[in-house]
A = this chain, B = another copy of it.
Amino acid sequence: MEALQFFVVSSFSAALAIAIAAFGCGIGQGMGLKAAVEGIARNPESSGKVTVTMLIGLAMIESLCIYALVIALILIYAHPQAAAIAGLLG
C-alpha cells in the first residue's frame, strides 16, 4: 500500500527535523552559555545584565528549534492531506 509510505516518511522526516535542529541549536546555546558563565565568573557584578542578555539570546536560538518542532508536529498530526491519505489506508 503506497498510502502507508506517506506516514512512514513523515515519521522519519519529523524525527530528522527535530534531531538536526536540536544538534545545531544545542551547540549554539552552548556557545552562548559558555560565554555567559565565563563572564559572570570574571565579573560577578555584571551577573544581572549578563543573565538577561543570555536569556534573550537563548530564547532566539530556542525559537529556531521550535520552528523545526512545529514542522515535525505538523508532519505527524496536521498535514493537510493526511486525512485524505489515511482514507486510502483501509
Docked Cα-Cα span, A23 to B76, in Å, equals: 21
Closest 8 CB pairs of A and B: A39-B41, A28-B30, A23-B24, A33-B57, A13-B15, A25-B26, A32-B33, A26-B28
CB of A89, distance to nearest CB on chain B (Å): 6
A interface, over-half SS: helix
Contact with B along A30-54 (1 / 0, CB 8 A): 1111111111111111110111011
Which positions in A face B, CB cutoff 8 Å? 1-47, 49-51, 53-58, 60-69, 71-72, 74-77, 79-81, 84-90
Q: How many copies does the complex hold?
A: 14
Known: A6-B8, A57-B36. A22 touches B79 (CB 8 A): no
Q: Which of B6, B12, B14, B50 contacts A40 (CB 8 A)?
A: B50
A40 touches B40 (CB 8 A): no
CB of A12, distance to nearest CB on chain B (Å): 5
